[in-house]
Structure 1
Amino acid sequence: MWQMASDSTTLDVNPPYAYLLWCRDYATTSVIAHIDGRPAGYLTGYRRPEQPDTVMVWQIAVSSAHRGAGVAGQMLDHLVQRLQPEGVTNVEASITPDNVASQRLFSAFARRWNAPLEREELFGSELFPIDHASEQLFRIGPLRVPQHG
């Protein structure tokens, strides 16, 4: 996971230890995709404590060999299908304005799940102690039956 985050050039890279803890403590709200027995992508997320019907996607990354093959969208779909029986009806993600790939991913996800997509500023750049773009909150929901095809 750490290597995929490092290779992405768009994600904030956490220490390797953080990814190990994430896998242990948030396994039910995270996904690791495998292709031919090897990790091809990961999604880390958590349910919002104050809004348990919402899963916040923390990071999503796909290995360079598998980008553009729909792996990220499949991981999102898998996560939501797993959590819907537990009452999850909304998905959130924070995305920087220059991360066009993630914006497209979540916009396509909203269309596929017949759900409205709202955007608003989550954290302005002035809140970060280092040079960092603002983070926009993408809120998708309520989710409906997905369209395939």
Structure 2
Amino acid sequence: MSNIPTKGDILFRQPTVEDGAAVHDLIAACKPLDENSLYCNLLQCSHFADSAVLAERDGEVVGFVSAYHLPEQPKTLFVWQIAVSKSARGQGLASRILDEAIARGKQRGATHLHTTITPDNEASWATFRKLADRLNTELNHKPFFERDKHFAGRHDTEELLIIGPF
């Protein structure tokens, strides 16, 4: 049996700095995700590569989750963004890539996951509710970055989701 993916299979792997531009392009194509600079995506693919996950099909980047362990709470994995290309949507890839990120986080002692979501992002809410159900754990939330207080009215409030322990 070979570990080499066959045509059409999804390969989950740690990103490398060489993936930075492809990740940048993927995120740009996944509206309404906030775009970051290419430099930021290069850092995600290098400095935070051990907690990020890249999904690749037939040599094309079709998914990416950026994540990191909170410096003051190393048992908490913070998921920054999940991006799934149009060609890979509807196949459960967001859930699969999250599961891979959590598996890697657990190897480093993670027991909780945090992320932020705007109140109107139903797709993300559904993904993380399903995740909490799969992990058989709690999902709590509270305002984190507020529209007027933190974003100067330029971005909707981001709710902090707290999932765990797992």
Structure 2: runs of 5 or more not aligned: 1-22
Residues 125-146 of structure 1, C-alpha deviations (whole Å, 9 max, x = no match): 0111352100001110001xxx
Letter in 2 for 1:134: T
Q: Secondary structure at the match of 1:125?
A: coil
**Matched residues in 2 for 1:134 and 1:118: separation?**
16
2:11 equivalent in structure 1: none
Q: Determine which of 135, 144, 159 is the counterpart of 1:122.
A: 144
What CA distance in whole angstroms lies between the structure 1 residues aligned with 2:122 and 2:29? Answer: 17
**2:137 match: secondary structure:** coil
Q: How does 1:1-149 map to 2 (within 5 A)?
A: 1-126=23-148, 127-129=150-152, 131-143=154-166
Instruction: State the identity %.
Output: 38
Structure 1-normalised TM-score? 0.92
Question: Which structure has the larger Rg over C-alpha atoms?
Answer: 2
SS at match of 1:8: coil
Output the TM-score relative to the length of structure 2.
0.83
What CA distance in whole angstroms lies between the structure 2 residues aligned with 1:71 and 1:138? 20
CA deviation digits over 1:85-141, x for unaligned, max 9? 321010111001111111111110110011100011011101113521000011100
Runs of 4+ in 1 over 4 A off after TM superposition: none
CA RMSD of aligned residues (A): 1.0
